[in-house]
């Protein structure tokens, strides 16, 4: 056999392999952990050379809109979708998602943290695999607290947070006392504000599904938030979501930031954060009513029922959310950068505990959030920072726009709450929840 024949044979084999490669399209969010995953997929393709990966990476609000439209209309654009704890039970009950029952013998479903697995399961079946899980807590600048003579309690109140934020702002001309989400969206500012409102004793609906934005607990929540941000927050805060506030904190522009626990690895990463060695952590604030302002969420990978490539999609999901992926990230990026909040074994790992000083508080925050009893007063719904009904996605975005406008000074708190009450009443009436 001559060299020409060998080359032609090899080329034919490569062509045949490429011709038989199955392409799957993955829709995901532009958060840091997801971006990191894309950089590490050579490991997956080396193990699965017959599967080609195509990515659609979108900002959080846009991703939610696109995947919701696609799955509701059976568009079939995506074979794997990045969705959250809100969508999974609703979509699974409508038979829009495939159960994940072929993740492999080594996947170890029982290792998934129960609070996370419960939110992604229906009737005991897992319908989405968590890529990372999160609650929310306070990240703060220890050096600025020391400079201002402040000591952060492990479990602070909202009153303390307000006083501390204003003092840090007064003591530092180039630093905001606090950074909080203001960008409109049911998963952006309303994730924060709904969790905050729980700690103030507020609720979206009473036991008869009557909207509650006309009650004093919501007024207290929104007034406290708007005044705090006006006094000690950044300019243009109504445009800031998770990624914008992350950038501000990493640049040293925030004395405190109350947001997702997943941010801890990014604010403490010396390669990305200018204040990596100055960050402390504390539980989300309360008002003494028995609920803290922390949420429960998991960005997860799910497979739409309409895909024609379910086997290839499930192989990818198993790779991206399995134990070996955590080891891969640890090897390439260090244990502190492993996607958090999904597996019990991670929090039992001595290497992770040593590398991630935020590990225990993250787990404690996740375990303390109870989606079945999210509020001080009884409610008819499940969900900590969302209401697990189909109408919430549209209603939450509408209310988020109103509250973002109040933060921007485009309307008063009273007007925002009145319009939120009217919008919620209309949605609940149309949905048949109330007469």
Question: pLDDT by residue (tens digit) across 359-374?
Answer: 999 999 999 999 989 9
The rounded distance, in Å, linking the Cα atoms of 286 and 94 is 36
* Amino acid 235: pLDDT: 96
* Amino acid 291: pLDDT: 97
b (16+ CB within 10 A) / e for 296-320 = bbbbbbbbbbbbebbebbbbbbbbb
* Amino acid 21: pLDDT: 78
pLDDT below 50 — which residues of the chain? 1, 3-19
What are the residue ranges of helices labelled H in 255-358?
Answer: 264-267, 310-321, 323-333, 344-347, 350-355
What is the distance between the terminal CA atoms of the chain, rounded to a whole angstrom?
A: 83
Residues 6 or more apart in contact with residue 115 via CB below 8 angstroms = 133, 296, 366, 367, 369
- E strand segments, 261-412: 279-283, 297-302
The rounded distance, in Å, linking the Cα atoms of 264 and 134 is 10
Q: What angle do CA 61, 296, 77 make, to 5 degrees?
A: 35
* Amino acid 276: pLDDT: 97
- Answer whether 132's CB lies under 8 Å from 340's CB: yes
Residues 6 or more apart in contact with residue 233 via CB below 8 angstroms = 165, 176, 177, 178, 179, 180, 182
* Amino acid 3: pLDDT: 44
List the structure tokens of 233. 């927050």
In this structure, the number of other CB atoms found within 10 A of the CB of residue 1 comes to 6
Question: pLDDT by residue (tens digit) across 219-269?
Answer: 999 999 999 999 999 999 999 999 999 999 999 999 999 999 999 999 999
Tell me if residue 223 falls in helix, strand or coil: helix
* Amino acid 188: pLDDT: 96
* Amino acid 2: pLDDT: 52
The rounded distance, in Å, linking the Cα atoms of 201 and 286 is 10
CA-closest candidate to residue 340, choices 412, 332, 329, 44? 329
pTM: 0.88
């Amino acid at each position: 056999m001559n060299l020409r024949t060998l080359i032609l044979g090899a080329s034919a084999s490569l062509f045949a392999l490429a011709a038989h490669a199955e392409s799957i399209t993955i829709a995901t969010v532009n958060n840091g952990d997801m971006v990191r995953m894309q950089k590490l997929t050579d490991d997956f393709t080396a193990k699965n050379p017959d599967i080609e990966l195509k990515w659609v990476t979108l900002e959080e609000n846009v991703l939610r809109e696109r995947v919701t439209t696609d799955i509701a209309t059976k568009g079939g654009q995506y074979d794997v979708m990045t969705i959250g704890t809100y969508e999974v039970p609703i979509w699974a009950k409508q038979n829009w998602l495939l159960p994940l029952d072929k993740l492999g013998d080594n996947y170890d479903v029982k290792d998934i943290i129960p609070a996370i697995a419960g939110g992604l399961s229906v009737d005991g079946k897992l319908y989405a695999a968590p890529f990372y899980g999160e609650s929310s807590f306070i990240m703060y600048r220890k050096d600025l607290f020391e400079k201002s003579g402040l000591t952060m309690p492990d479990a602070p109140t909202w009153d303390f947070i307000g006083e501390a934020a204003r003092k840090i702002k007064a003591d530092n001309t180039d630093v905001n006392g606090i950074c909080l989400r203001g960008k409109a969206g049911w998963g952006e500012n309303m994730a924060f504000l709904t969790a905050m409102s729980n700690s103030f004793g507020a609720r979206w609906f009473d036991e008869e599904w009557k909207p509650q934005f006309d009650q004093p607990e919501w007024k207290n929540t929104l007034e406290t938030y708007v005044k705090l941000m006006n006094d000690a927050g950044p300019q243009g805060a109504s445009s800031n979501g998770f990624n914008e506030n992350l950038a501000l904190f990493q640049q040293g522009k925030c004395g405190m930031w109350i947001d997702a626990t997943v941010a801890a690895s990014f604010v403490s990463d010396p390669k990305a954060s200018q204040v990596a060695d100055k960050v402390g952590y504390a539980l989300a604030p309360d008002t003494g009513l028995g609920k803290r302002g922390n949420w429960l969420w998991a960005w997860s990978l799910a497979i739409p029922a309409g895909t024609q490539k379910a086997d290839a999609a499930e192989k990818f999901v198993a790779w991206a959310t399995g134990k070996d992926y955590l080891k891969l990230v640890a090897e390439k990026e260090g244990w502190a950068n492993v996607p958090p909040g999904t597996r019990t074994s991670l929090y039992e790992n001595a290497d992770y505990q040593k590398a991630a000083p935020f590990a225990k508080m993250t787990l404690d925050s996740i375990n303390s959030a109870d989606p079945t009893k999210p509020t001080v007063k009884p409610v008819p719904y499940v969900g900590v920072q969302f209401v697990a009904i189909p109408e919430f996605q549209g209603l939450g975005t509408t209310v988020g726009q109103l509250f973002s406008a109040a933060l921007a000074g485009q309307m008063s708190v009273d007007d925002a709450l009145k319009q939120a009450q009217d919008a919620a009443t209309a949605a609940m009436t149309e949905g048949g929840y109330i007469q």
